[in-house]
Amino acid sequence: MAGPSFLKRLGPGLVPFVPYLWLAVFFLLPFLIVFKISLSDPAVAQPPYRPVFEWSDIAAFFSGLDLENFATLIDDSLYLDATLSSLRIAAISTALLLLVGFPIAYAMARAPQKHRPLLVALVIMPFWTSFLIRIYAWVAILKPEGLLNQALMGLGLIGDPLNILNTETAVYIGIVYAYLPFMVLPLYASLEKQDHSLIEAALDLGSPPWRAFWTITVPLAMPGIVAGSLLCFIPAVGEFVIPDLLGGSETLMIGKQLWSEFFSNRDWPLASSVAILLLLILVVPIVIYRDVESRQLEGRR
């Protein structure tokens, strides 16, 4: 950086201070509170947990904390099952997203230069329409008497309606549909920068097309693959709306579990420990994602 910038003279420290303070208060502090409440006992009161701060007696405050809720999470196989099934569903969905997203991103990157901005706009556009509405649209399509079954039966492809809604298949369809822009855009960004003459050189030297693809295109697209996969995998693990509306009661996911612990059972401490559990699972992918993103952004300088 060339010399002290003018903004530094403008108000030293003040500019970063305001958003910093905001995030510390409204993002960091709430996590500490979740952590505290995850260690406390539920109470039949409003709010339904024991007081958070008892400054008068710090010893009593600490003795009131225990790992009871986390013991519940381990004892009750429901939470372990929900965690494993969330990780599985998110991993399979991410793999499906790569399979569906890569050909689209690749074709966009190969399209004539003048059409590319339009193609990018077309991928972003659905993201601007409501997530809830886009998932709701699939309910009408996947229902037993829904539009997909009507179409397939009308074409004579199937005799009896397929049961897709309220199964895990519906959840995969929902996640792939809702997260596709998040996969396609990072992939496109890394594929677009590639020099196609590398592929041509490989082909000229007698390499079969699939080999040129695996040894040149894919490794060069790695930053996009990593960013896109994390961008889809992390929120998918904690997804609530999609398993709730499309997955039915048989789909177990940890985000849904947290929601019902909180809203149906009104057990706030247990809901908090589920949140801490979810956070612990995701902290490593989140840190990797942050590194990849800030390195890419700073690398553009």
Q: Which residues in the 249-268 window bind other proteins by CB under 8 A?
A: 255, 258-259, 262-263, 268
Q: Does 70 bind other proteins (CB under 8 A)?
A: no
Six token digits for residue 49: 């947990």
Contact in structure between 172 and 93 (CB atoms under 8 Å):
yes
Please state, in angstroms and as integers, the Cα–Cα distance from residue 261 to each residue in 127, 210, 236, 266, following that order: 30, 49, 19, 6
CA distance 190 to 186: 6
Site for other proteins in 126-155 (CB under 8 A): 126, 128-134, 136-141, 143, 145-147, 150
Q: Minimum Å distance from CB 37 to other proteins? A: 6
Q: Does 31 bind other proteins (CB under 8 A)?
A: yes
57, 67, 71, 196: residue in contact with other proteins (rule CB under 8 A): 196
Q: Does 227 bind other proteins (CB under 8 A)?
A: no
Q: Minimum Å distance from CB 275 to other proteins? A: 5
Q: Which 3 state secondary structure label does DSSP give 174?
A: helix
Q: Does 122 bind other proteins (CB under 8 A)?
A: yes
Q: Does 99 bind other proteins (CB under 8 A)?
A: no
Residue count at the site for other proteins (CB under 8 A)? 100
Contact in structure between 171 and 242 (CB atoms under 8 Å):
yes
Can you spell out the DSSP letters for 68-88?
HHHHHHHHSHHHHHHHHHHHH
226, 235, 248, 266: residue in contact with other proteins (rule CB under 8 A): 235
**3-state DSSP helix/strand/coil percent for the chain, to nearest 5?**
75, 0, 25
Q: Minimum Å distance from CB 208 to other proteins? A: 16
Backbone angles phi, psi at 42, to 5 degrees: -70, 150
Site for other proteins in 102-121 (CB under 8 A): 103-104, 106-108, 110-113, 119, 121
Q: Does 55 bind other proteins (CB under 8 A)?
A: no
Site for other proteins in 171-190 (CB under 8 A): 177, 180-181, 184
In terms of Cα–Cα distance, which of 147, 144, 145, 150 is closest to 164?
144
64, 70, 85, 293: residue in contact with other proteins (rule CB under 8 A): 293
